Structure 1
Amino acid sequence: MLLRPATRADLPAVLALLADEERVVDPASVTVTAAYERAFADIEADPRNEMLVLVDDSAGGPVVGCLQATYIPGLGKGGAERALIEAVRIRADRRGGGLGRELMSRAVARARARGCALVQLTSNKSRTDAHRFYASLGFARSHDGFKLTL
Structure 2
Amino acid sequence: MLRTATRRDLPAVLALLADEEKVVDPASLVVDAAYEKAFADITGDPRNEILVLADGDMVVGCLQATYIPGLGKHGAERALIEAVRIRPDRRGGGLGRDLMKQAVERARRRGCALVQLTSNRDRVDAHRFYASLGFAASHEGFKLAL
Residues 1:99 and 2:99 aligned together? no
Residue by residue over 1:111-133, the C-alpha shift from the partner in whole angstroms, topping out at 9 and shown as x without a partner, is 00000000000011111111110
The two structures have a TM-score, normalised by structure 2, of 0.99
SS in 2 for 1:134: helix
Taking the aligned partners of 1:52 and 1:138, their CA distance within structure 2 comes to 21
Residues 1:132 and 2:131 aligned together? no
Taking the aligned partners of 1:122 and 1:34, their CA distance within structure 2 comes to 28
- The more displaced of 124-133 and 98-107 is 124-133
SS in 2 for 1:23: coil
Residues 1:10 and 2:6 aligned together? no
Paired-residue identity, %:
81
The corresponding residue for 2:32 is 33
The corresponding residue for 1:80 is 76
| AA partner of residue 71 (structure 1) | Y
| AA partner of residue 20 (structure 2) | E
| AA partner of residue 88 (structure 1) | V
Unaligned runs of 5+ in 2: none
In the TM superposition, structure 1's runs of 4+ consecutive aligned residues that sit over 6 Å from their partners are: none
Quote the offset at 1:45 in angstroms.
0.3
The two structures have a TM-score, normalised by structure 1, of 0.96
Quote the offset at 1:33 in angstroms.
1.5
SS in 1 for 2:15: helix
Residue by residue over 1:51-89, the C-alpha shift from the partner in whole angstroms, topping out at 9 and shown as x without a partner, is 0000002xxx20000000000000000100000000000
* Pairing 1:51-62 to 2, within 5 Å after superposition: 51-57=50-56, 61-62=57-58
SS in 1 for 2:122: coil
Taking the aligned partners of 1:95 and 1:31, their CA distance within structure 2 comes to 26
